[in-house]
Amino acid sequence: MSHQHPDDDTRGRLKVRRIAIDTYHENVAFLNRHCALYRAEGFQALSKVEIQANGTRIYAVLNIVDDDAIVSPDELGLTEQAFEQLGMENGNLVCVAHTAPPHSMDLVRRKIRGERLALTDFREIIHDITDNRYSKMEMAAFLVATVQSGLDREETLSLTRAMTETGERIQWHEPLVADKHCIGGIPGNRTTMLVVPIVAAHGLLIPKTSSRAITSPAGTSDTMSVLARVDLSPEEMHQVVAETHACLVWGGKARLAPADDILISVERPLGIDSEGQMIASILSKKLAAGATHLLLDIPVGPTAKVRHMNQALRLRKLFEYIGDRLGIHLEVVISDGCQPIGRGIGPALEARDVMQVLENNPDAPDDLRQKSLYLAGRILEFDPDVRGGQGFHLARDILESGRALKKMREIIEAQGAASPIPPSAPLTFEIVSAHSGYVTAIDNYQLAHIARLAGAPMDLNAGVDLLKKLGDEVEKGEPLYRIQAEFPSDFNFARELAEKDNGYRVGEKKEISHRYLEI
Amino acid sequence: MSHQHPDDDTRGRLKVRRIAIDTYHENVAFLNRHCALYRAEGFQALSKVEIQANGTRIYAVLNIVDDDAIVSPDELGLTEQAFEQLGMENGNLVCVAHTAPPHSMDLVRRKIRGERLALTDFREIIHDITDNRYSKMEMAAFLVATVQSGLDREETLSLTRAMTETGERIQWHEPLVADKHCIGGIPGNRTTMLVVPIVAAHGLLIPKTSSRAITSPAGTSDTMSVLARVDLSPEEMHQVVAETHACLVWGGKARLAPADDILISVERPLGIDSEGQMIASILSKKLAAGATHLLLDIPVGPTAKVRHMNQALRLRKLFEYIGDRLGIHLEVVISDGCQPIGRGIGPALEARDVMQVLENNPDAPDDLRQKSLYLAGRILEFDPDVRGGQGFHLARDILESGRALKKMREIIEAQGAASPIPPSAPLTFEIVSAHSGYVTAIDNYQLAHIARLAGAPMDLNAGVDLLKKLGDEVEKGEPLYRIQAEFPSDFNFARELAEKDNGYRVGEKKEISHRYLEI
């Protein structure tokens, strides 16, 4: 194999080429094994490289390619995210050089050894992560280090601060900007889409940015997308808020606390969970979104994310401590997480439940209505003019008078109404009870999993429609819920899983899970 | 975008396609975003998938592709390692399905939470790693977990056992199979190539498998490759050992403790170091190679891998404890690691030093000679017929009589002599002292780095030739060492680095680093 060597004036310069591979928040560069630079620079697979062009500098992990059709020896391939960050055209010359691992990995290694990190340390780490200088492995190392020796209160505060400082921060120029967040894990829990119009109808500012579902069958953005456009630019979002005092949009376009998105892309597949990371993730997003007042909902239940009351209480203290230090007015509600909220699980089904409540339809699911009124009431009490304890009644008045529905219609119109979707999914199947008795438990995870297999959230109409809830009496053969799907294979997967374990326990009345929480 | 859906009989089946990308010990699968399965199965980038064909099952991490030229919607791309593991032809049909993260990740998460793991736990983890069920992220999580809460003695023993059990184990059918290992970090430290012929000339079996350089300018395999073929198959290695009682080969073809190679591919770029991992890595390789008696060299010095005597002593105890439990006779030598050993740094230069010692050349570097005789002597004393304390003299007799040189020639001939390389690299440059005085310190890392930039180990002739060692007197302008390179850009990189920091400290006689160790 001949070893071609670059002239000095093109030393380290290669033609950049877009490689349409999605490596999910990791920059990967591809170099041909016969590239002169590969040998001259002593590159190896998994080396970190620095790519420069026109004053822009990006970082990537190297993969070595043995196929000229993917990248030829005078080219450097970049995955889509990296290519976009560099902002060059195919064929432009770029400089490639070795780069040392980010300096802040020294700090990560200190954390691994069990040392405490300071605010400046977290700032360096988060800065390098946001700059895509960390490989997935390095992020995994950081995350495991923070889980294992743990983040104490001060470290969690520092991490939150560091994550808030990177990326944009929205300015609303209002003294009270309300927001809400739920720790998650409860299917069908679409209170946000009721709280926002109620609070906005009262006159408070509540510009809500949400994520899309990652592991759940629907996020607020997915459900809202059934009714309106949600992928608004920051400018469009400002316009909607100026018109309606509210919005219900996807937060992905706003570049809020971008380090959070990157870290989540590693945390999720690893299945590791750190309270410190979770708190920093939630609060940094809210602060970046410009919230001044935040209501946090922590559902507790045997199949919720938070399973024990003492864990919920500890989380509350931590949230309060950090919220106070960062100057956000924060209140925590611990709620019942024993079963799904409402009836529908999946974007269109949940949107139906939400609209039924807004329309004061007598068939509207009462648990969704009550919980939403309670949460909206607590947010209304952030208003100095609302007397403590009066929020719930005020919220109910706003809902019953139709003002909440009117506000929701304004928001939908301002964001741009979605084109109507066909009324229901063509394939349905009812899961029935194997014997008579009472519904004594419902497994949130199993129901979410079945709804996902049915196609939610990608197929808006897919999901699960609950016909029985906790405490309901059922006869043998009576349907517990209905699976809806659009595609036969999705339908079969969901049905097979539900037939193996339908997620319901039917037993004696005395076995019904004790709901120790009011909402 | 139309959503094509597979018929039930081809559900989950795609045409496999080799993608010539080297992802270095990670299986990656590529799926087109418009592939029917992508949506039907709810795949996401970084999902883990299981690929089955003809009874073979492999695991891979998913990347999503938006270019039909890389993989079309009815294809599944596999990186080279994954493609080879599956053992199919391009275009063969394979089944693809979601796979849960390996069950043993639960054990890793337990370790992250600070729990102790048992032998059965380590067996499960190492089994899954060897099966390529772990992503790089998951391996990083395992490694960090073992670094952070640490592995106690029993856990290190369990990990070593688990790593030894996977892969092959060579049987030599001899009661005494000698081996040596050095913890590393000292450039030019090629004692193995002297110890092996001396020990074999005495009649002991010493079949030495070595690694290639990963981060150093030369490993034993790289240096030996200047003189002989080193990439022998297991059968060829057995033949060489039968003929000569020894070998000096690259261990990569023997599939010894394969989990170790996989873990190192993550450990190295992360730059994390765990004593437990290191001990398990070294001992599992030696046990798999069939060694019964092992001499371990731990160099200590301010720029060596082990920097303090107390760390070396702790490591010695740990090695002894685990060696005893695993039934390998193990002795530890703590040696001086204050500076490089010999003169040359780089494969050809180090091979020159080795041959000078074997040939009893009066110019041969004395430190390399003395250290090699000492280590060989300690191994000779494993022989029950050699009286304690007589090993050194015996080794010296074997060397001075020319029997070691004769043995080395036999080994080279049996492995197959390498074709001679041109006598020296065309580009050389001398780094001179900026002032007069004594060499008071030499930075191992800096010299290794300069030698690597010059092209070592890939260009056999490249490297650094030391002209002054610790304690030597130098005049202002007198050369300290010579850089050798083959390619102008390598040469310039190495020279620039050396001119910035040449790695030498020249000062007063009293400042010379105290060498508290005899060898």
Q: May I ask the CATH class of domain A178-255+283-415?
A: alpha beta
CB spacing of A272 vs B20 below 8 angstroms: no
Give the model's confidence band at B459: pLDDT under 50 very low, under 70 low, under 90 confident, else very high. Answer: confident
Q: Three-class SS of residue A107?
A: helix
Contact A262, A139 (CB under 8 A): yes
**How confident is the model over B230-286, as pLDDT tens digits?**
999 999 999 999 999 999 999 877 778 888 888 888 887 787 778 888 999 999 999
pTM above 0.90, yes or no: no
Task: Give B-chain residues touching A114 at CB under 8 angstroms.
Answer: 148
CA B362/CA B369 separation, integer angstroms: 11
**How confident is the model over B480-494, as pLDDT tens digits?**
999 999 888 789 889
Q: Which of B273, B324, B366, B501 is flagged as catalytic?
A: B273
**How confident is the model over B438-452, as pLDDT tens digits?**
999 999 999 999 999
Nearest-CB residue to A40 (from B11, B143, B489): B489
The helix (run of H) or strand (run of E) holding residue A351 is helix A347-358
**How confident is the model over A400-452, as pLDDT tens digits?**
999 999 999 999 999 999 988 777 668 999 999 999 999 999 999 999 999 99
- The residue with greater pLDDT, B81 or B124, is B124
Q: Can you read off the two tokens belonging to residue A492?
A: 């079969």
Residue B344: pLDDT above 90? yes
Give the model's confidence band at A478: pLDDT under 50 very low, under 70 low, under 90 confident, else very high. Answer: very high
- As a three-state string, the secondary structure of A189-229 is CCCHHHHHHHHHHHCCEEEEEECCCCCCCCCHHHHHCCCEC
**How confident is the model over A175-210, as pLDDT tens digits?**
999 999 999 789 999 999 999 999 999 999 999 998
User: What residues 467-506 of chain A have any CB closer than 8 A to a CB of chain B?
Assistant: 487-490, 492-493
Residue A5: pLDDT above 70? no
CB spacing of A141 vs B272 below 8 angstroms: yes
What are the C-alpha distances in Å from B47 to residues A63, A254, A486?
A: 19, 26, 23
Q: pLDDT value at position A400?
A: 98
Q: Determine the residue of chain B that is closest to A216 in CA distance.
A: B42
- Range scoring the smallest mean pLDDT among A92-96, B40-44, B109-113, B214-218: B40-44
B388 touches chain A (CB under 8 A): no
- Range scoring the smallest mean pLDDT among A277-286, A510-519, B67-76, B139-148: A510-519
CA B188/CA B227 separation, integer angstroms: 16
Nearest-CB residue to B147 (from A5, A48, A112): A112
Q: Please, which residues have CB within 8 angstroms of residue A506's CB and are 6 or more apart in sequence? A: A433, A434, A435, A436, A437, A438, A439, A440, A474, A480
Query: Which of A33, A39, A270, A453 should be substituted to probe chain B, the one whose Cβ sees the most B Cβ atoms within 10 Å?
Result: A270
CA–CA min distance A56, chain B (Å)? 23
Q: pLDDT value at position A385?
A: 94
Bridge partner residues of A75 (DSSP): A15
Q: pLDDT value at position B1?
A: 32
Q: Determine the residue of chain A that is closest to B64 in CA distance.
A: A22
Give the model's confidence band at B9: pLDDT under 50 very low, under 70 low, under 90 confident, else very high. Answer: very low
A46 touches chain B (CB under 8 A): yes
The three-point CA angle B255-B259-B260 to 5° equals 90
In chain A, the percentage of residues whose pLDDT exceeds 90 is 65
CA–CA min distance A497, chain B (Å)? 13
Give the model's confidence band at A295: pLDDT under 50 very low, under 70 low, under 90 confident, else very high. Answer: very high
- The residue with greater pLDDT, B300 or B34, is B300
Looking at chain B, the domain(s) classified CATH 3.90.1170.30 span: 427-511
Residue A171: pLDDT above 60? yes
Q: Output the average pLDDT for chain B.
A: 90
Q: Determine the residue of chain A that is closest to B102 in CA distance.
A: A270
Give the model's confidence band at B7: pLDDT under 50 very low, under 70 low, under 90 confident, else very high. Answer: very low
Q: Determine the residue of chain B that is closest to A214 in CA distance.
A: B44
**How confident is the model over A56-78, as pLDDT tens digits?**
889 888 888 989 989 999 999 99
Q: Three-class SS of residue A300?
A: strand
Task: Give A-chain residues touching B265 at CB under 8 angstroms.
Answer: 46
Q: Three-class SS of residue A467?
A: coil
Query: Which of B4, B27, B46 should be substituted to probe chain A, the one whose Cβ sees the most A Cβ atoms within 10 Å?
Result: B46
Active site residue A273: yes
- The residue with greater pLDDT, B113 or B379, is B379
Q: Determine the residue of chain B that is closest to A40 in CA distance.
A: B490
Q: Which of A106, A152, A231, A273 is flagged as catalytic?
A: A273
Q: What is the CATH number of domain A8-98?
A: 2.40.40.20
Q: pLDDT value at position B233?
A: 92
Q: pLDDT value at position B515?
A: 66
The domain B178-254+271-415 is placed in CATH, from the list 3.40.1030.10, 3.30.830.10, 3.30.70.20, 2.30.42.10, at 3.40.1030.10
CB spacing of B147 vs A63 below 8 angstroms: no
CA A64/CA A87 separation, integer angstroms: 23
Mean pLDDT of the A87-99 span:
88
Task: Give A-chain residues touching B19 at CB under 8 angstroms.
Answer: 67, 70
Give the model's confidence band at B10: pLDDT under 50 very low, under 70 low, under 90 confident, else very high. Answer: very low
Q: May I ask the CATH class of domain B427-511?
A: alpha beta
CA–CA min distance B282, chain A (Å)? 22
Looking at chain A, the domain(s) classified CATH 3.40.1030.10 span: 178-255+283-415
CA–CA min distance B480, chain A (Å)? 25
**How confident is the model over A111-151, as pLDDT tens digits?**
988 889 999 999 999 999 998 888 888 999 999 998 866 78
Looking at chain A, the domain(s) classified CATH 2.40.40.20 span: 8-98
**How confident is the model over B496-507, as pLDDT tens digits?**
999 999 999 999
Residue A12: pLDDT above 70? no
Q: pLDDT value at position A46?
A: 66
Residue A43: pLDDT above 70? no
Mean pLDDT of the B128-149 span:
88
Q: pLDDT value at position B240?
A: 97
Q: Please, which residues have CB within 8 angstroms of residue B52's CB and are 6 or more apart in sequence? A: B94, B95, B96, B97
B21 touches chain A (CB under 8 A): yes
Looking at chain B, the domain(s) classified CATH 3.40.1030.10 span: 178-254+271-415
